[in-house]
Structure 1
Amino acid sequence: MIRTVLGDIAPEELGVCNAHDHLFLRSPLSPGQELDDPAAALAELNAFTALGGRSVAQWTPWGMGPRVADLPELSRRSGVHIISATGMHQAKHYRQAELRQATDLACLFIHELTTARPRAGMIKVAGAYHHLDDHARHVIAAAAEAHHATDAPIGVHLEAGTAALDVLHLLCDTHRVPAHRVILGHLHRFPDPRIHRQAAETGAFLAFDGPSRAHHGTDWLLLRSLTALADAGHAHRILLGGDTTTASARSTADGPGMPFLLSALRPRIEHELGPEIATAIFIDNPSHAFTANWRG
């Protein structure tokens, strides 16, 4: 089943999925650009739904203003299935008091996945630039423990798209998380086809989260990256998300926002890679990536 904020659903109910985005988000690094407006979030969901969108995975983890209590009502009003995240981002996105508060991360993650209301449907972790620092290793270890207790999928913020293979080694080889339960995010920011292919060969899912107004330097290579993976036989590992991280990036402001995935990217993928691959990327692959044999 896939765990949404309104309860567990069968994979075939997920529909067209924005596999990595944010309805609410705050960070000390982005003062004044917080996503903290329920009305604006609803407008973005409605715009996405009008183009055929059916589900959104919000990767905003604990401590970054996910406003989880607001998500069920947004889901009901928009008709969009929403997958919420627990987990923890890089230390720089938290105040020291918040970091001191989060003492037993595995227990926190398990609580938010199993007994909190609404329940999270995934765990979010993050690497550092081209390496894994001590904070990342600590959080990833806790996420692996929570995964083994619940079977929740783990989404990974790869800083500038780097350290994908290091993350997979730590999660899968050291902590024994099956690779198909891992979603690697931001790979379009480091468009190395060899690394993309190696990551896909492990069985992990590869999320190309863009275009995002904050990370647009490699948007022009997105179709090239998707084509290379499809040509190598890995179309079934690809996910796409909008990764809207600031208020100005919403479609209701001056950014591409969630609707761009379906208004612009999906037609291009259908034209260049074919409708079957587009269906895999937007419907079939997310239904596998977010499905879990939930325990608890």
Structure 2
Amino acid sequence: MSQAAIRTVLGDVPPGDLGACDAHDHLFLSGLISGPRPAGRELDDPAAAVAEARAFADLGGRAVVQWTPFGMGRRAGRLAEVSRAAGVHIVAATGLHQARHYTPALLERVGGRLAELFVAELTRGLHNDDDPDGPAGPARAGLIKVAGALHGLDAHARHVMSAAAEAHHATGAPVAVHLEGGTAALDAVDLLCGTLNVPPVRVILGHLGRSPDPRVPRQAADTGAFLAFDVPGPRAADARLLDVLTALVEAGHAGQVLLGTDTTTAAARATGGAGPGMPYLLGTLRPRLAERLGDGVAEAALVGNPARAFAVAW
């Protein structure tokens, strides 16, 4: 078996080289193919992406995991230059989001061969977002992004997750799950792990901090999956997040926590926007997390856990 490595857009790197990681974010995101986002909300400017990633790097950040999947403006051809210019590793995603983010024509075009598309993007290279049949670039994906619906898993989600599981079994790649509103975590695990035989340690559950039910993060942690919390920003929201993380750590789940800022609009960037942006993760949240739970927990959430969550014996 190959030695485990993390697949970045510039090539595979040893897990120990990943460093402080923003485990859930977006450098590029163009929203709905079926309709434009409001003006000023697109993440489509390479220079702005470099500035934001460089601000993160200036605080000691070494890696950014972009969860933007196929068809949502991930700018596959620009990720390598952003990585080089900002001095950070970038892990890109293949996969598919909720059906509402795509035109029916594109869904029909790729729907019958999703697993093939995912495997190709993980092993050969990323395609342009609107051309799954065109030439692939040199940058490869390092994870598979899927998404649940607000009230469980609809037929589209189940279809995409089935294809993601097939791609996982072919490559070993982790499957990252967007949980709309922080809901349906156990439904996703039941399908991916219980039915489709993806090991829980290869599943990353996102947005758990958004669940209105405080029991959900602990229930999700008990499955053995990794838990990706996106940083809310305001101090009151941070306090709630720290309470959730404290409960998880006290229950023995410190090794499953991942953190990211999930910047989805230009206005939310720290550079050129109102923030909090990527720098918030290390400049503000890390000190608060270390003060509450100790440097060891902060180091695990930002360095050790991502190195395990995204490492694959390709």
Structure 1: unaligned runs, 5 residues or longer: none
The number of residue pairs the alignment matches comes to: 292
Structure 1 residue 68: Cα displacement = 1.0
Residue type at the aligned position of 2:58: A
> CA offsets per residue over residues 136-161 of structure 1, 9 Å max, x none?
00000000000000000010000000
Q: Out of 128, 150, 156, which is 1:135 matched to?
A: 156
- Structure 2 CA distance, aligned partners of 1:23 and 1:115? 22
- The answer for the alignment partner of 1:241 in structure 2 is 260
SS of corresponding position for 1:206: strand
> CA offsets per residue over residues 172-194 of structure 1, 9 Å max, x none?
00000000000000001015343
Asked if the contact 2:66/2:92 (under 8 Å) is kept, the reply is: yes
Asked if the contact 1:161/1:186 (under 8 Å) is kept, the reply is: yes
- The answer for the alignment partner of 2:86 in structure 1 is 78
Structure 1 residue 220: Cα displacement = 4.2
After TM superposition, the structure 1 = structure 2 runs for residues 26-175 of structure 1, keeping only pairs within 5 Å, are: 26-28=30-32, 30-32=37-39, 33-103=41-111, 104-116=113-125, 117-175=138-196
- The answer for the alignment partner of 2:13 in structure 1 is 9
- Structure 2 CA distance, aligned partners of 1:191 and 1:149? 36
Asked if the contact 2:209/2:217 (under 8 Å) is kept, the reply is: no
Asked if the contact 1:27/1:94 (under 8 Å) is kept, the reply is: no
Structure 1 residue 217: Cα displacement = 9.3
Q: Out of 287, 290, 301, which is 1:267 matched to?
A: 287
Structure 1 residue 219: Cα displacement = 4.7
TM-score by length of 1: 0.96
SS of corresponding position for 2:97: coil
Q: CA RMSD in A?
A: 1.5
Q: Which moved more, 1:188-197 or 1:55-64?
A: 188-197
SS of corresponding position for 2:141: coil
Residue type at the aligned position of 2:123: T
Structure 1 residue 79: Cα displacement = 1.2
Distance 1:218 1:191, change over 3 A: farther
SS of corresponding position for 2:120: helix
- Structure 1 CA distance, aligned partners of 2:266 and 2:287? 26
Q: Which moved more, 1:216-225 or 1:264-273?
A: 216-225
SS of corresponding position for 1:113: helix
SS of corresponding position for 1:34: coil
Identity of aligned residues (%): 62
TM-score by length of 2: 0.90
> CA offsets per residue over residues 50-99 of structure 1, 9 Å max, x none?
00000000000000010011011111111100000000000111122221
Distance 1:212 1:95, change over 3 A: farther
Residue type at the aligned position of 1:135: H
- The answer for the alignment partner of 1:209 in structure 2 is 230
